[in-house]
Amino acid sequence: MTIFGVALLALCTLIGVFLGDLLGVALGVKANVGGVGLAMILLIAARAWLLARGKLGGGIKLGVEFWSTMYIPIVVAMAAQQNVVAAVRGGPIVLIAATVSLLLCFACVALLGHFGRRERAEDAQIRHGGAVIGGDLDDDAAPVAPPHAVRKA
């Protein structure tokens, strides 16, 4: 049921907001620091955990995927509520923190892209499909795939 995915999101959001409030108190800031981001990380981790154990049903998956696509609009809406002018007036630490976090995100994307890459053997059918899509197709017919060996009993 989709409601289970929404319930999982709600649980992750509550935990994320709680941890964000704790982080704000620890940093001496009277605000939630990264609660939504922590909630999304928890949601991704919970989804991966359920998937690895074979407990991620279709309904849960649908509910989680719906809210995962809503992440950017949620963050934009929450950022719109923040007092950015007061934060920038607080000193250069805001710009330093923003720059460092942006660079860390770029580094993480590059690292994940490097380790997540899989080598795939390119066969004649794939090259032919690429030629069709790219418009580089000659008048030759599509290559024929080799027949599969059939065992006779």
CA distance 15 to 113: 29
Contact status, residue 82 vs residue 36, Cβ threshold 8 Å: no
In this structure, what token pair is assigned to residue 144? 């024929």
Q: 103: which residues sit within 8 A by CB, 6+ positions away? A: none
Give the domain ranges of the chain: 1-82, 84-141
pLDDT digits (tens, 9 = 90+) for 120-148: 656 666 666 666 666 666 655 555 555 55
Length of the chain: 153
pLDDT digits (tens, 9 = 90+) for 28-46: 888 888 888 888 888 888 8
